[in-house]
Amino acid sequence: MPFTTTVITGATSGIGKETAMALAKKGHAVYLLVRYTERGERLKQEIITATKNKNIYVMHCDLADMESVRNAADILKGGLLAVNVLINNAGGIFAERRESKDGFEMTFAVNHLGHFLLVESLLPLLEKGQARIINVSSEAHRMAKPNFNDLQWAKRPYSAWKAYGTAKLFNIYFTRSLALKYGPKGISAFALHPGVVNTGFAAGLTGFNKILMQLAKPFMISAERGAQTSIYLASAARVDAKSGRYFKKQKPVKPSAIAANEEGRNRLWELSMELVAPFLH
């Protein structure tokens, strides 16, 4: 693959870190979009030491803060000619309902809306780079029952896992919409399940949810193994024909029946566009 410019969110730990390290070894110029720049700088030095690749860059980007997302995109647009790979890796699950500074429910903001705004803001660079957009979803999408009249979980009892599963379903909807809308412009998009990975991802859970995660730990895979499908989609030579698909263990698989719902997919796009409109320019 020729020189590749890759942007990745959530790279300071877990599968994001393993993905960034692996792609740096393959010679990618890697832009680490991170919430905590100190951690990002430490990771940058770790990657440079391990790979001898000096084309590693750190940028602040808090996906729960739409202004931060827009600012990161503006900096990238000011310094790059194109982006070839965008990996929307960051995610989170929250034990209790919380709102972002913009008033969005945090699970929705971090797992979906921040990435939606990032893609829309970077669209000129993604088009020029004939980019692959990779959205890290989850098999948790199979528990989703989306309510488009209450995306923010303000009108019903909040459930950490149901909110998370719904956001992961939205990753699949988003992927399919990107493939259909921007495929004619040379952009491809993929969603993936990384596996049940042993990381600090669900550290904030409490009560029964925390007990469940502790019981599951012996059966979890390593972050290195969990990163393999992201790495594959970012670097394999011939996957673009499978744009719009959901991957597991480096192969396309069938997601839940609701993930194929065209009405829901289109509704999510329309509502997401309305919500990010004040932050686009």
Q: How far apart are CA 169 and CA 73, in angstroms?
A: 25
31 tagged catalytic: no
- Tally Cβ neighbours within 10 Å of residue 191: 31
The structure tokens listed for 34 are 């991170």
Q: How far apart are CA 86 and CA 109, in angstroms?
A: 18
The secondary structure of residue 98, as a DSSP letter, is: -
Contact between 177 and 251 (Cβ < 8 Å): no
**Alpha-carbon torsion (62, 66, 68, 73), positive or negative:** positive
- Our measurement of the distance from residue 159's CA atom to the centroid of its chain's CA atoms, rounded to an integer in Å, reads 21
Of 36, 57, 158, 164, the catalytic one is: 164
Contact between 30 and 20 (Cβ < 8 Å): yes
The structure tokens listed for 114 are 């921040």
Q: Which positions are catalytic?
A: 164
